[in-house]
Every structure is written in structure tokens, then in C-alpha cells.
Structure 1
Amino acid sequence: MVVQAQSRKTWDFLNNGFSAATITALQTDMEQNGTGGYWRDWEKDVSTANTGTWFNASTVSGTASTHADGVATPIPELKDLNFQSVKGKGLVLVNDYSQSENDGSPNKQYPYGTHFIWLNGSKLSFTFKAAAGDTLHMGIESHKNTEARGVNISVNGTTIAADYGQSVPIFFNDVKWTLIQATDGSDSVTVKVTSSNGCHIYYIIVGEGDAPTVKAASKIAYVFNSGNGYDRDADYAHAFISGSSDLFTTTAVDVNNKTITADSLEKFDAVVISPYIDAADACVSTLKSIIAYEPVLNLNASLYEPWGYGKAVTTIQQTATIVNANNKFFTNATANGLDTSTGALNILSAGGITGVNLSPYFAGDDTLAVVDNAVAVHEHNANRNAYMFLPYDKQNMASIDADAMSVILPTALSLVADTKTAVTNTPASTVSQVYKNKETLVVLKDGNKSATIYYTTDGTDPSDKSNVYTDTLKFMEPVTIKAIAKADGYLMSDTAIVDIAIKTQAPAPEFTINEGADTSVVTLTDADPSLTIYYNYTGSTDATKSAVYSAPLKVTTPVTVTAFAEGGSYIQSETASKNVTIQNIDKTLRYDVLAHFDANSVDWNHGSTSTAYFFSWGKTARSCYDTTQSPDVNGVYPFVPDEEISDSLWTIKSKGQVVDWENTTPTAVVGDGT
């Protein structure tokens, strides 16, 4: 049976996660389009950002894509999944999610894995093509470890039951279905996956899945110095790397009496800094310059001090303590045969590990293992041209634990090499102005949240020696701001040039009110007759939600008129408001005792069953009583003092009743309006 419509059978997020190229594309999308565009790495606000860990999407219909320079590029890991108008934040791509211990999970960890897609809500769905009669396997767990959540599967519109496993579980389940035949006899069917509520999907495998992709060997530069009595036969690091010919094509780069440049290393997928580089070697500054711009695996603690990035620390320990066992390095190493069950990382069989103390440049890194008070393994820029340190110094090379090194070194190097990413410019900064009366506030922002912004106001071109932007700038005179931005691992941005203007606030309108028995007349004027006066009855300061004043207003019911003026080079005036009364109309139009509320939905909310109510003095009945006072003889506390809130057309008072505010601008007419 040949099914032309099905081009993919395996989506394995659990083991493969999302590539460095995909993470970079998602970050570039955010940098160019803002977090209000297509993707963002935070949930409620920017303070909750999880850079490189997970990304949630705006509404996704069809193919999930990233967007850069106006071009949509499908995300490779989601190829051939057709999303059905998944709501904003409904699709979340999760990479290196943190885990915690949980005995309910099959692997005692929740979440079960660190890489998955998260359908964040109910009735979210996607489809894909498959062969009729084939099998379907999915790894599923709930996003809430106290509630069963998962997926339902339908084939050409018909819901099917699982052969085994729980499709709506709490903890991870491997679930299998058999796809039914198409009623029209077609070889191909459409499979629809629909969430019951928020859940994680770790993999989707149709039939036997796709044939494994054979990855090309990574091109590795092994940088060493053959001087000072170097013995190639004693360099076990080079032996293990060059011996992994299925993984790496290794080029030995000897710096003895030679000069290397950053450009000469750019052609490699990763650079290994061997233990056989001395702190005084001429190449040390070049090796520093490629960090964050090329994938680097450093085996040499002695270089931290000349780099200004820390200092080597000698210990007497042969093993390091694993502090982040869920990091991809350890999960991959464990899969490759390294025993990490004891929480110890074997480095040496004798002697002492040389770790490092880190400077601020590396302070925010993931520390993966420690030894005494030093860092034994750490990772920098994990998803983009990553840097990793492993403690294999030349003094202890003869005492290395060869069995452990044979797994640790290739695993780390493969991980680092996979993050090779083209170096691009930092996004240009944006300059926004907030005009006040005779002063302007200026905010500089950059699409890369880790970027440092440099600026000038004297007309000179900015550099990394210019003023560093830290907070809102205030100007009382016109200036020209020039700004550049630089993020670690990126080139300098283009220069943003913005002229800062200083504006004067328009004079506020003035009211003249002639109150009448049945009609009151409101006249609005302004000290500058060239300005446009806007007015409304809602208290708005938005010109688009206001009317342009052109003639005196005739008011027949009590109301509050709000007015403001703008035009020319002025900024909008302050608002002016007046309560307008009618002599023959009492302000009290209607009483409703909310504690005995009996108005119907037709009168109060256009017949809608959704709520439209007003003000809250408390969330529970407890707030009706004043517990700071003494109770009576029956133990009952007194009601809270009277509360009141008023608008021009109504007043709400409470003597202890709980009243909730939801809609501050109701539009329904109450009853017959009398």
C-alpha cells in the first residue's frame, strides 16, 4: 500500500526536542515581530520569560511557522501537523523544561520528560495524514498532576478508542490506537488529535515510524600546542574524539609557533580547547573571542583567569556531584551508557579535579556539576553556539576515568556541535517617546532582552564605550538620540536615530452650563480657538471614543460631560469634567436591593447569560462583617460600615452585601429606562 499524502510518520519531541536552529528562529521571530506578534517566551508578563525553554504561539492555523523578514518558515519539528485555529497560547513548544520528583510518574519525575508540545486548553486540535489500518502510538500526560487530561483521536471524523494505555491520563502513558479503514476505501485517512484539556504530547509515531536520520559527522577543530613536550599518545581527549569517527571528523589545529584567527575556526561545527594550551599562548585571546560565536568545548581550566572569566581551583576529589541531572547533557550521557544513578560524575581515578570559580560573565550559566566549592561542569548559551567546560586538565590526563570519559566527551561535544548557528546582528533598538508638558520621556528597548543598549545625545555615533541605557530618559530640550545594541553571541546592531521633540500641553476646555427645568445647555470653549475639542459621557480620554464638539450640547438627563482638546504641535490637554443636572429630574432614578436581586437578564444584559455586574467590597461573605469590633451576645459581628460608589447616573450602596464589579461600561438599558 502506498500513501502519497503521508510524508511523515514520526514526531519525537521527547528524544529530539527542538533544534538550536529552531530555537534561534523562534527568538529571531520575537526580536523582529515583538512578543505580541507570533511567538513569545513568557506567559503573563516579560518577568516570567523562560528564554530558550518554551515558546507559546499566537493563534496557529495550518502549519506552525516562524516569521523573519516577512517570510514564514515552517518549523521542521512540526512538519505535516495541521493545526486547527489553535487559540493564542494554546500551542506551547517546550525545550528543557524543569522536572521535580513525583512517585506517580513512571520515571518518578514530573513532567515525564523535558521536551514536548503542550496543548494549553481544551478542544485544541491538529490533524495529519496516515495509512488506513496502521497503528498510532502517542506519549501523553496531563499538564496538571492532580487531574486527568489528554487527547481524543478521530479518524475521518469517527472517534476511535485506544487499544491500550490511557489517552486521558494524569501521568505519562504510552497509548496505542489502530486506525480504522476509510469508508470510501481510500488508502489514506485524516487523523485528528483533540485535547480534553491542557496536556503534554511527547511523541507521535505512525506504524513503524520513519527510518532514523543518519547525521553527518560534525567537523571538529582540536586546538592544542605541540610544544613543551607534548605527547600525542598521552592525550586521551584527542584519542576519544578522533576515535569517534562516526560522530566527528577531527582536524588537529597546532598553535605551536603559529597564529590562528577566529575566521579560520568558523568553518568548523565546534572547537575543542584542549588541556594542552598554556595561559601564555598567543592563541588565548582568539579562543576567548569565539565564545558564544562558535560552539566550544573547553577542557582547560587554566584559561579562565587570563580570559577574565574566573579562576582555576584545584581539589582533591576524583568525582564531581551532579546538580542538574535533568540537563540534556546528562540525559544523553545516560542514554549512551553513563551511570549517573548515584549522582556522582566520575572524572579521575586518582589525583584531584581542577574546577573553576566563575566571573560575572558566566554567572548566569547552568551549573551541571560541582566539586567542593568549585564548578566542575557548566554550560553557556545552551541553545545557540553553546560553550561547555569539562574538567580534564593535562596534569591529570594519565589518571582519567577512561570508561566515563569515553561517554562524557563525545556526548558533550555532540551536544555543543548541534548548536552551531549563523551569527547575526542584534536587532536595532526601538526608541519611544512619551510627551509631557514641556518634557519628553524616552524609552529604549531591544528585541533581544539580554542586549546592552548604548546611546549618545551629542550627535556622535555610539559605540560600546558610550552611555549604557538603564532606565527611562527625561529631556527638557530637543535632542537627537543615536542608539546601538549588542547581545552576547550577536554582532552589533544597526544604529537607531530618532529626533526627540519637546511639546507643550494644550489648554483644557472650559465649561459654561445653563441649567434648565427640562434641558441644560453645555458650551465648551478653549483658550486656543484653533484646537479641536472632544467630548464624551463615559470619562474616556481617547479621541476615537469621543465626539468632536461643534455646537452647544443640549442635555435632557443628568450626566457627566468629559472634554479635552488637542491639535497642532500640542499634546492632548488635561481632561475637564462637569456633572450636568436637570432641575425637574431627581438624580435617583431607580432603586434595586442587590441582596434581593430579582431583575432579569433581558433587562440587565441584553438577554445574555454572562454576568455584567459592578462593584466588590469583598470576595466572600466574611467581608460583610467587621471582625475588628466585638461580637454581640450571640457571637455575631456587626456589619461593615456603609460603602458607596457613584457615577453620574447611578449610586451603589452596601450595608454588608457582597457586590462584585465586572463590567465598568454597561450598555444595556435598565427596565424601561424610567
Structure 2
Amino acid sequence: MKKLFTLGLTLILSVGAVNSQVRKTWDFTTFSDETKENLNADVAGPQNWIMSKEVDGVITEWKDNKKLSGKIMANGIPIKELEGLEIGTAGLSKNNNMLVRAKGFRMSRAKMELILPKLAPGQTVTLRAQSANATATGRGFVAGNGNLEYISGPEGGICLGNKLEGAAPEQDGNYTLVWKVVGEGEDSVDVKLRVVGGGCDIVLVQIDEGDNPADDRVKIAYLYDSETTNPDNDVVTTAIFPELVEKMGGVKITPIDINAGNADLANVTSDSLQTYSVVVLSDLIPATNPYVSTIKSAIAFVPMLNLTPGLYPAWGYGNVAEGASGSVLVGEAARGSKLFLSSDVAVGSYVGEDGMLSLVSEGNVLGYTAEPGSYFYNDSIIAKTGDINAIHAHNIDRNAYMMIPYAPNVAPDENVIDVFINAVEMLNDTKVAVSKASKATISEEYHHKYTTVSLKSSTKRSNIYYTLDGSEPTTESTLYTEPFDLKESLVVKALVVADGYYNADVVEKTITINELAGAPTISLSKESGKTTVTLIPANEGDVIKYNYMGSTDSMRCSNYVEPIVLTKHATITFFTAEGNGKLQSEPVSQFVDIDDEVVRIDVVSSFNANKEDWSLAGASPSYYIGKNPYSFYDIDNPVGEDAEGNLIYNPMYKATYHNPGKGWAFKTYGQMALWQSTSIGHNPGDFNGYNPQTAEDDDDRVSNYFVSFSSVETDPNGAKDPYSACLYTTEAIQGPFDVVGFIGGYNTEVALYVATDTIDADKVGSDKWQLIGNMSSGTIKGNGDNGKDGSSRIWRKTLLSYEGTDKVFVKVAAAATSGNVLDVLILNHGEKSEEYVTGIEDVMNGSDAAGDVVRTMVYSINGTQLSGTAKGINIVKEVYANGVVKTRKVVVK
């Protein structure tokens, strides 16, 4: 030991004083339940705010739906986390200017202004923020008027996206920017901060040192009983804490005597212990100490290191058990943990190659046993002494608890001092402010004359307790384990309880019981190569909705108006729409197979205009050649003059390529080409977004990006294709195959070509590019944008087949004025197609099965191999030891 260290026995208590000054700290790392409730109420009511993100039915992000400025409110009530700040009118768009997030407040538009309270010259303003785009190069904050001088932070106030080379944000991804108020005298002046470049997420705004100037030292409370412990010669205070102070630096240690005779003990509560970074429990606290129950109530609410299991029987969490030696066996998974590293890098880990760690120099290690179902029973066991649990951790990621035992009044091995110090450091890293668990969400799934109720909470490792009799739920109420059915209207009340959180507010909901409309029925008429699907209403006048995605959302459906002819197998889901006082019917799903169908479901090549490959270095949507077709002209060879004597030149047809190396490339000879990021929806026929035209077009494989390019222009020499913008495969594809294209735009067509040799096919006048057909977006009637009789957003799915047996290159080029290509898939008859099973009846190949199942494969109804059964229809293929293969349908509801 390097030195002795004696702690005074003064009980240190802190009393929070009321700050009468103007607010100086705005912390956006958390938003209160009150704010979230007001935002949710606004979403449902006046809709100044709308949902931006939802997780398991719980809204986690909100964005403004109107041009909000001044004091920012939700549901008519000021957002308290923003009180004292205002948003200026500059830079605002119609909506989506702000975003309230789980950890941060986003100002989404360049030139937006954040207005602070008036400040006096000499005061400072600190902002902690980061770019909302991890690859953006020019986003940040600058002074919004001449009253601020930038004194500290990234150059120019620019917060480089944290994925960029040269970005140097702090550990949590944020930058700290500091300004000083300039001027003379004591008069307060207006202060503004302005967004530059685009959206930024703010986690902190602070004036001077804030409302409560931070004491950034690690605050450790050491709890001991003066009847059994003398800090002047206690192992913890004389051996461990001096090393801890030397290693960690800024540490404030507060000894707290919890002896029953301490008159000030009443002021030390579970809540007051939460003000510390870590609480350390002496190894000599007797189980009879009356304060033991208070310590128990603080577990999981403040990081805690306990040096003895002697308190476990009093807590009801286990029993003390003595090991057979002074060493413990560290589990394999924990041997590389920081917990066991020496402060001397040369020493490395204190755990031996055999996994053993010496804890005490004489005597045996004390451990504990825990009964099944008890508080510590499922804890992470870090080390054992024989069969007895020794070192363990509880709630390790949030205000963790750890027990590292050693025998009372016995000096620990020298290596253990480092282990204790490491434990304090690790526990300190888990310190978080205690909050309420997230409230339960109560969801209803309606059936005919009964309702299925589901309860959820976004808080990890939480339990939900509920009642149906109107009483307030407690931990003695029914524990929710799975959805339950109610046949009568009752009030469900639910309480979320989670270790390390305060109990959530109780929520309640009156469950309604409804009648559902009658479900339609289906009739199939098969011919070679096609099946006609007829949907029959349960009652005359019923509106039938259908889709091929297994959805029960009426917005993701088309209306059934006439029999549907399918030429490819599919699963159709259909139901009766809500109406006549009844909710929509139960959905019906039917697999439809096609006699003599050539099945091609193996993807051998695909084009996806993803941002990484096709948005060149963050370029704007207009790129490649720009907005003017034929930018290149043969200026060395004029072909004549016009009436005014101006020389006339022919297009030079200079090729520009872009090849990301992913199997598809782009080429243009001067035609305009665009890349665009969209937000794909799945509401057939909805002209307000990028949606499929019909349910037949809907497909989850469509991505949120597309490339648009114009067609070839007429040339004086008659040269057309190949002098056109196009997408093409960089490798030949073995035929035969199908090509599925997702094409968007108003009345656009994309031509599909194949060629065995692109060099010859690309020569002027060559006819070696074979036209397979056109993939069209169609002329769409409806409320189009820009006054058109249609929409440039609606997209369609088209399938064309190449039946040749050659290996060919594939090209798509605009056939009309332009072509918007979202995705292209090339599918052949490969392994998945071979394993595809038509129909839904059980199929057995060969004789009776014998022996064990040696291989099980699960497929979706469309032939995609799955890791396990999924909701809906699954095809399960089992191979038996004697080679017999059984295939069966499994329906998961």
C-alpha cells in the first residue's frame, strides 16, 4: 500500500436550494411523461404534432405538423422542457421543422432560429448538439445576431456527421459549442442561435454554469456501522479508497454512519442515496442494523457495491454460505472482463490460466445461495467458490448492483484492491437517473362478439399487472403473460413494474365488444397456366378488400370489383370492409396455385438504387449529366448553318458511366438522369405518396430510391438505340428467366432488352439488342400532382419473361419520355424453385417414412426459405432417415 488514508466521520448531506433566477439549463436527453401525453393528445386532437416514429404501438418521436414558432406548445400546453426558449419565424417550412425524440430536440431546417432569454454581456451560452445526418458536412449552429461571439467548439460551429472522416464528436456523438455575449454595460441583449446547413439534434442548452453548477467528481457514499467498523483502521478506508482516489482522480467520498444511534440518520433515505454515483457497503454491517431495509430499497436505483453476503438473509434474498478456500473460480465469459485487470498494464489480468482468483490471504471466501424465483436467483454469476455463488451482478446495465465478498477483518490480497476499484468504475458507468417505467399500452383485436386484449410496455424486463374489476392493480394482481379474450365490455387497468424504475402510472381502457361483418368466400377456376379467382360477398352490397401481402389493413388493399386472373401462384388475403354498423370481417387467406406454372423465384440479379451506391458522394438528386439532354456536341465538325449564320453541330454521344460494382451499371449519352430518395408506401391507389397502383403491384421488395432517365432523342443521322440512357447488367444472365420491374411515374414506359454481346449490340445501327417488351407505369386516372391527370408517384409491378437459353445481358431504357426505375429483379428456376411446393395438401414422396427426421426446411408460400415458421401459411419439408420426404402445410395464426 502506497499510503494511509483516514476519512472524517462527518455525515455529508446536500439540500437542494430553490433557484429564483431565470432558467439556465435545458436538458433534452429525456422528455417527461407529461410532455409525451400532451404530444399524444395533440396527435389525436388538433394535430399541431403528428407521429414520426412508433415502436410496439408506442409513439417515440413526434414532428410538428404546422409552422410552429414562438413558445412551443403541445395540446395547448407549453412543452416544459422548452419553456424559456422560443423558435423564430425564420427558416420554417409548412411542417416538419422540429422533432421531439427520445434523446434530443431536433431543429430540422437551415436558417431556423433558437431564441434565448435576454442575457448580459459576459455571460456564456453552451450548446451540445450533433448533425441529424451522419454523413453531412456543413451542419451546425452560428450566432443569430451580433450579440454573440463564438469562443469554443468545432470550427465555424459545424458539427460534422459522425461517420465522416475527420469528425471528432465527443463520446456520446455530440459536439460542445460555446458563445460569449458581447457588449458594454449591464443591459441585457437579445440572443439567437441559427441553424446552418440542415437538421441538428440538440441535447443541452445552458447559460453560464447552468441552474445547478455541476460537481463532476465521482461521488461515493460509504455506509458503515460505527459499532462494528472503525474507519481509522478499516480495510476499505485505509487500503482501497486511497488507491481509488489516486487512480480515478476526481472522487468525493462521503462516509455515512448508519448506526442506530446516529441522530442524523433519518435524513438519509433511499432517495438521498440516489444522489451518489456509487454506494459502497462495508463488510461489517450487521444484519440486525435497522437501516438494512433502507439499503435494500435502494438496490437498482443507485449503483451499489456490497462487500459481504451477510445482509442477504435479512433482505430475504438468499443465505450466507462459506466456501472451502480463499479463492474463487471466475467463469470463462468473465475472465477477460475489465473487473480483473491490474492497474499495471504489464501484469494484465489477475485471473490465472486456470480461471482462479485469490480474494483473501487467510480464511475462506463467503458466498451465498438463492432460492428459485428470488431476487438474485437469475443474476449473472461472475465467480464461484466450489458450488457456492461468490461474485455476482444484478441489473448490470442500469444502476447495477455487485457483490464481491471477503472475510471481515482480514486484509484482502493485494490484487483484490484493483478488483474493488475496477468494480467502482464499472458501477459508476451504469449510473442513470431513475425514471418511471413506460406506461402500458392496451391494444384491442376485434373478433365477432369478443375482443382479444394485448398489453405491452417498451421498458425492458418489465412485468405488467392488470385488473378487470375496476380496482387499482398492484404486484398482487394478475400478471400478464399473453393476450386474453373478453366477451363483455370491461375496464382493463394495467400497471408496469420494472426493476430499477419507479412504477409506471396506471392506465385503463374500456374494452368494446363488436360484431364483425360476414367474411367473403372464394371460388377458384383453374385452366392451364392461369387461375381465375372469384370473391363472393357474404351479403349483397358488401365491399370486399384484398391484397397479396397478408395484410389486414384496408389501406393496403384494393377493392374487389371483378374476377381476378392470376398467372403466377400467390396467397390472396381478403375480407369484408367495415360498414352497416359492423367492423371489417375476419380476414381469409387462400393460397392460389397455377396448373402447369413455370416457377421462377430464385433471385439471380437485382438492381436497387440504394443511397450508398447511387447517391454520388451525397450529391443532389439531379446528377450524371444534369438537367439538359445532350450536353456534349461534336464542335469540331459542324454540319451546316442556320438562317442566321449560326453553326449547327450534331450530338457527340459521349458516354458517361456509373458502375457501383454490384452487378448493374448506368450509362447515358447526354440524357438527363436523376437519383432520388423517396418514402415508399403501400396503400394501393393513394396518390398522396409513392404507393402501388393496385394490390397486384404491392410488394415489400420495393426500396425507397429510384433512378430516372430520359429516352433517346431523334438524331439527324437516324441513330437511336443504343444512344440512350440505360441501366444494364455487367454480367450475362443464363436464360430462361423472368424480369420483374417496379416502374414509377405518370404514363412512363421502360423498355427491356437482351443481347448476347454488348460490344456488337452497342454499335451504331446494330439490331442485336432484342426487345422483350415494355414495362409501363400506365396512365393513371386520379388527382395527380402539378395538374396532371395522374400521378408521378404511383408505381406498378411488371413481369416479362425471356425464354431463350443463351446467356444474355439485360438492359432497361426509357421507351417513352422518361423512365423511373425503382427496382429490377431477375428470377430463374433454381434451387428454391425446385423445392417450391404447389398446393396446400400434404405431399409424400416415395413409400412410408421411417427413422428420425434428419433435416427440416421451412418455406413461405412464395418459396422463400425461412429460419422457422412465421405468421401465415408455411410449407414445412421434412427429410426422414430412409430418404422419404414429407411436405405439409402449417398455418400460424
TM range (shorter): 0.5 to 0.7
The match for 2:17 is none
CA distance in 2, matches of 1:521, 1:370: 66
Q: What's the offset of the Cα at 1:317?
A: 0.6
The equivalent residue for 1:349 is 361
Query: Structure 2: any 5+ residue segments left out of the alignment?
Result: 1-28, 37-52, 61-98, 109-126, 137-160, 169-214, 526-531, 602-733, 740-751, 753-771, 773-798, 802-810, 813-823, 838-843, 849-860, 864-893
Q: Using a 3 Å threshold, how does the CA distance of structure 1 residues 522 and 452 change in structure 2: closer, same or farther?
A: closer
Structure 1 residue 322 corresponds to structure 2 residue 330 = yes
Among 252, 256, 267, the alignment partner of 1:253 is 256
- 1:300 maps to which of 301, 308, 332: 308
Could you say which residue in structure 1 is the equivalent of 2:320? 312
Cα offset, 1:77, TM superposition: 13
Distance 1:352 1:338, change over 3 A: farther
Partner residue of 1:544?
A: 555
State whether residues 737 and 826 of structure 2, in contact with CA within 8 Å, keep that contact through their aligned partners in structure 1.
no
Matches within 5 A, 1:554-565: 564-565=575-576
Contact 1:38 1:67 in 2 (8 A): no
2:479 alignment partner in structure 1: 468
- SS for the counterpart of 2:163 is strand
Residue 265 of structure 1 contacts residue 271 of structure 1 at CA under 8 Å; is this kept in 2?
Answer: yes
Partners of 1:273 and 1:444 lie apart in 2 by: 39
Q: Distance in 2 between matches of 1:278 and 1:457?
A: 44
Displacement of 1:278 after TM fit? 0.5
Q: Does 1:414 align with 2:399?
A: no
Q: How far did 1:36 drift?
A: 9.8
User: Take 2:596 and 2:349, find their aligned partners in 1: how far apart are those partners?
Assistant: 79
Q: Residue 210 of structure 1 corresponds to which residue in structure 2? A: none
Q: Which residue does the alignment assign to 2:55?
A: 34
Which of 579, 599, 612 aligns to 2:827? It is 612
Structure 2 CA distance for aligned equivalents of residues 437 and 398 of structure 1: 71
Equivalent position to 1:129, from 166, 177, 180 = 166
Q: Is the 8 A contact 2:535 2:560 kept in 1?
A: no
Match of 1:222 in 2: 222
- Displacement of 1:289 after TM fit? 0.6
- Selected match of 1:436 from 435, 447, 452: 447
Aligned amino acid, residue 166 of structure 2? K
- Map 1:157-236 → 2, pairs under 5 A: 216-228=216-228, 230-236=229-235
What amino acid maps onto 1:219 in structure 2? K
What secondary structure sits across from 1:462 in the alignment?
Answer: coil
Q: Which amino acid aligns with 1:366?
A: S
User: CA 1:336–1:379 in 2, change beyond 3 Å: closer, same or farther?
Assistant: farther
Q: Secondary structure at the match of 2:513?
A: coil
Task: Report what 2:459 is aligned to.
Answer: 448
Out of 372, 376, 385, which is 2:390 matched to? Answer: 376
In the TM superposition, what is the alpha-carbon distance from 1:353 to its structure 2 partner?
1.1
Q: CA deviation at 1:468?
A: 1.0
Change beyond 3 A, Cα 1:558–1:222? closer
- Report the Cα distance in structure 2 between the residues aligned to 1:575 and 1:418, rounded to whole angstroms: 50
Name 2:585's counterpart in structure 1: 573
Deviations 1:393-445 (A, max 9, x none): 32xx23432x2233222221222123221000100111111112111111111
2:304 and 2:401 in contact (8 A); partners too: yes
Change (3 A) 1:436 1:276: same
The 5-angstrom pairing of residues 585-604 of structure 1 reads 598=736, 601=739, 602=752, 603=772
Q: 1:187-218: per-residue Cα shift (whole Å, max 9, x none)?
A: xxxxxxxxxxxxxxxxxxxxxxxxxxxx9542
The correspondence for 1:272, drawn from 268, 280, 297, is 280
For residue 232 of structure 1, give the secondary structure of its aligned residue in structure 2: coil
Name the structure 1 match of 2:101. Answer: 67
- CA shift for structure 1 position 274: 0.3
**Equivalence for 2:237:** 238
- In the TM superposition, residue 597 of structure 1 has moved relative to its aligned partner by 6.6
Of stretches 332-341 and 457-466 in structure 1, the one that deviates more from structure 2 is: 332-341
Matched residue count: 438
Instruction: Name the structure 2 match of 1:483.
Output: 494
Aligned CA RMSD, in angstroms, stands at 5.1
Letter matched to residue 335 of structure 2: A
Task: Verify the 8 A CA contact 1:270 1:297 in the aligned structure 2.
Answer: yes
Per-residue Cα deviation, 1:504-562 (whole angstroms, up to 9, x for no partner): 22124579999xxxxx9989665375x53446799986533544467xx4889999998
CA distance in 1, matches of 2:836, 2:564: 38
State the identity as a percent. Answer: 28
Question: Cα distance 1:570–1:349, how it changes in 2: closer, same or farther (>3 A)?
Answer: same
Residue in 2 aligned with 1:503?
A: 514
Deviates more, 1:235-244 or 1:268-277: 235-244
- SS at 2:321's partner residue? strand
- In 2: Cα distance, 1:274 partner to 1:378 partner: 17
Q: How does 1:616-631 map to 2 (within 5 A)?
A: 616-618=833-835
Structure 1 residue 384 displacement after superposition: 1.6
Is 1:240–1:410's contact at 8 Å kept on the other side of the alignment? no
What one-letter code is carried by the residue in structure 1 that aligns with 2:833? S
Aligned-partner Cα distance in 2 for 1:489–1:556: 58
State the secondary structure of the residue aligned to 2:423.
helix
Which amino acid in 1 is paired with 2:163?
A: F
1:388 and 2:402 aligned: yes
Cα distance in 2, alignment partners of residues 431 and 365 from structure 1: 30
Q: 1:336, 1:407 within 8 Å by CA — same for their partners in 2?
A: no
State the secondary structure of the residue aligned to 2:474: coil
**Rounded Cα–Cα distance in structure 1 between residues aligned with 2:566 and 2:351:** 78
Distance 1:540 1:480, change over 3 A: closer
Q: Is the 8 A contact 1:223 1:274 kept in 2?
A: yes
Q: Quote the offset at 1:371 in angstroms.
A: 1.0
> Are the aligned partners of 1:338 and 1:408 in contact in 2 as well (CA < 8 Å)?
no
Normalised to the residue count of structure 2, the TM-score between the two structures is 0.42
Deviation at residue 236 of structure 1 after TM alignment: 0.7
Secondary structure at 1:616's aligned position in 2? helix
Pair 1:297–1:540, CA change in 2 (3 A) = closer
* Partner SS state of residue 411, structure 1: helix
- Say if 2:330 and 2:351, in contact at 8 Å, map to a contact too: no
Measured at CA, do residues 617 and 349 of structure 1 come closer, stay the same or move farther in structure 2, by a change above 3 Å? same
| Mapping for residues 526-541 of structure 1, pairs under 5 Å | 526-527=538-539, 529=541, 531-534=542-545
8 Å CA contact 1:558–1:579 kept in 2: the answer is: no
- CA distance, structure 2, for counterparts of residue 351 and residue 555 of structure 1: 83
Separation in 2 of the partners of 1:645 and 1:81? 39
Provide the residue aligned with 2:68 in structure 1.
none
The verdict on how the C-alpha distance between 1:408 and 1:541 changes in structure 2, with shifts beyond 3 A counting, is closer
Report the CA distance between 1:610 and its aligned residue: 2.8
Opposite residue 219 of structure 2, the aligned amino acid is K
Tell me if the contact between 1:25 and 1:66 (Cα under 8 Å) persists in the aligned partners. no
